[in-house]
Structure formats: C-alpha cells, structure tokens
Amino acid sequence: MDKVLGYIKENEQRYLDELIEWLKIPSISSDSSRNDDTRRAGQWIADRIGKAGFENTRLIETGGHPVVYGDWLHAEGKPTILVYGHYDVQPTDPIEKWTVEPFNPTIKDGKLYGRGTSDDKGQLYTHICALEAILKQTGKLPVNIKFFIEGEEEAGSEHST
C-alpha cells in the first residue's frame, strides 16, 4: 500500500491539473448549445480511463449524449465492481450567485471551486486516480472493474438505460 500511496503523492499535481482541465469543459447536457462540449467531456474521460490502464474504453452512442464504458476484467473468480458516474453538469444559473467563474476552477483555502467539482466530475475522477495508482503499482486490481459514465444524468438520463 505504501507504493500506491507514494504513486498518488508523486502524481498529485498532475491529478489536480487534469481535473481542472476536465472541469473547464462546460458539459451542460440540458443546454443543446453545449452538445459539442458535453461530448468533448465524455471523450476526455474515456481517454483518461484508457490512460489509467483500463481496456475496451469507448463512447457508446445513445439517442442523446454518449455513455462512456471501460473495464479491467483480469481478476479471475473475483467480483465485478461497477463504477457509475456522470460527466455532465447542471447549468450555472443564476450566474450572479457564483463567487468564482463556474468553468474556471479556482483553489481557495485549499479547496477547489467550480461547476462539477463534487457533482460529479471530481468525485468520479478520484475513483479513476485511485484505481490507476493500484494498477500502475501492482500490475493488477483485486476485483474486476467496469465503468459506466453517462452524459445526461443532470438532464434526466433519458437515453442512458
């Protein structure tokens, strides 16, 4: 476990920089003028899951925004864990209530502020980073993992089932 924690510490700045890059994408699924951004956010996280060492990573088309899928299925005889999340975010209205620009993530007093930092991009990204650290340091995971990340949870998940 020390090697895994060391890897996380060594990559802490990279993880933060990547998260900020992803948070800057205004993936507001309920705003059709943001469809390209929403798709870009989905492709961004699909690419990142692949870089973390997961396989079969791809966008799956739906009638709306695509779903991201990826897996690592090499823990024979072990359970399979589903990591579910979403890459879309809520609209920013009312914009005047924001103390930071929603898509310009800002660190204040050691905390990261911006649209999607906790719902759900930031939370989802921590799972990817932790699993990457385990996989990169041990060469394996203790269980099988499947990712299912949708792009319209904030708009009702009409096409993700």
According to DSSP H, which parts of 30-153 are helical?
35-51, 121-138
Which structure tokens are listed for 61? 């088309």
* Cα 95 to Cα 66: distance, rounded to the nearest angstrom: 27
In the set 37, 88, 150, 152, the catalytic residue is 88
First to last CA, the chain: 37
Options 37, 71, 120, 153, the catalytic residue:
153
Q: Which amino acid does the sequence have at 160?
A: S
Active site residue 153: yes
Q: Catalogue the E-assigned strands of the chain.
A: 55-60, 67-72, 80-86, 106-108, 111-113, 144-150
For 101, list phi and psi in degrees, rounded to 5.
-70, 125
Read off the tokens for 13. Answer: 């700045």
Count of residues for the chain? 161
Residue with token string 């695509």: 66
Annotated catalytic residues are: 88, 153
